[in-house]
């Protein structure tokens, strides 16, 4: 029997690439997305496209049960669904903060809570959570997003220890900036709806200008390289927890490993302080 993976947020970007990667290597794939009409990928007997808003815990329970029932087992869940937020914390409306945490933190928690009994009953399972380089080095003007992705990493590390001895592994994939998805465009569109403040205008301009700087070839990850890393993590038997992808994410990891005083000095040099 072919193994089965459930992927959240499969309409575009990483999720779409991840679903395609697992299909390519012969897995059964449950591609979940809020609007199944947005699925434009291939069709296959090994593919089930299922509607899912990860913020809805009952819908998550139903989707996980459907996946296990349809293909006879569920081996991996990939918690990919997420949204970005670029804005000063002070001017960010509370409902936007809640939306980020509901989607990026509580959504994956709903999926894992639903999947664990299935994994335990069949004797094995893998959880792949998408975090970010922002979890390692929190970014100014991305405080809410950084906090959410930091929560995902810390929860994952603790969860991995809780599941010791149950043959259920937790993996965390941390991409840096990936320009070949619409994530930045969607994040920027959300930013334009937030009230502006002149206090932060110079910092905002400098940060946005920084995104326009062309990095060296191969420095940044692509949606395909992220999908390849997620597949590698899902099939890795070593017990490894953290997988950074993209030279920028790896650089952030090295920076964070410095002694605290050196790290704080690096932050002052690296980030524009206005």
Pick the catalytic residue from 10, 12, 143, 145. 145
- Please give the Cα distance from 138 to 46 (Å, whole number): 39
**Which run of H or of E encompasses 186?**
helix 183-191
DSSP 10-65: -SSHHHHHHHHHHHHTT-EEEEEES-GGG--S---TTEEEEE--TT-HHHHHHHHH
Number of neighbours of residue 115 by Cβ within 10 angstroms: 25
Q: Count the Cβ atoms, other than its own, within 10 Å of residue 40.
A: 8
Instruction: Please name the residue that has the structure tokens 């930045």.
Output: 184
Please indicate whether residue 131 is annotated as part of the active site.
Answer: yes
Q: Quote the tokens at residue 195.
A: 């009230």
Which residue's structure tokens are 């569920």? Answer: 74
Is residue 145 part of the annotated active site? The answer reads yes
Beta-carbon contacts of 162 under 8 Å, excluding residues fewer than 6 positions away, are none
User: Closest Cα partner for 78 from 221, 237, 184, 228?
Assistant: 228
**In this structure, which long-range contacts are made by residues 55-59, counting pairs with CB atoms below 8 Å and at least 24 apart in sequence?**
55/102, 55/103, 55/106, 55/107, 55/110, 56/110, 57/110, 57/113
- Name the catalytic one among 149, 153, 171, 243: 149
Catalytic one of 10, 17, 131, 146: 131
Catalytic residues: 131, 145, 149
């Amino acid at each position: 029997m072919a193994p089965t993976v459930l992927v959240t947020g499969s309409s575009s970007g990483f999720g779409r690439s991840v679903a395609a990667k697992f299909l390519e290597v012969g897995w059964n794939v449950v591609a979940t997305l809020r609007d199944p009409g947005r699925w434009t990928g291939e069709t296959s007997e090994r593919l089930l496209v299922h509607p899912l808003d990860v913020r809805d815990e009952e819908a998550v329970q139903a989707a996980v049960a459907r996946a296990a029932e349809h293909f006879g087992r569920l081996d991996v869940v990939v918690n990919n669904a997420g949204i970005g937020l670029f804005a000063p914390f002070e001017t960010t409306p509370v409902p936007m903060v809640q939306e980020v945490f509901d989607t990026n933190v509580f959504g994956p928690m709903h999926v894992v809570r639903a999947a664990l009994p299935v994994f335990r009953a069949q004797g094995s399972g893998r959880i792949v959570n998408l975090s970010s380089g922002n979890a390692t080095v929190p970014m100014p003007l991305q405080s809410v997003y950084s906090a959410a992705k930091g929560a995902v990493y810390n929860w994952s590390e603790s969860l991995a220890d809780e599941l010791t001895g149950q043959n259920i592994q937790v993996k965390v994939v941390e991409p840096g900036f990936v320009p070949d998805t619409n994530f930045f465009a969607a994040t920027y569109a959300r930013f334009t709806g937030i009230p502006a403040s002149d206090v932060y205008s110079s910092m905002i301009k400098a940060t946005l200008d920084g995104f326009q700087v062309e990095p060296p070839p191969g420095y940044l990850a692509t949606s395909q390289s992220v999908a390849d890393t997620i597949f590698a993590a899902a099939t890795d038997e070593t017990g490894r927890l953290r997988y950074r992808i993209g030279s920028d994410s790896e650089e952030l990891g090295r920076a964070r490993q410095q002694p605290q005083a050196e790290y704080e000095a690096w932050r002052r040099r690296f980030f524009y302080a206005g």
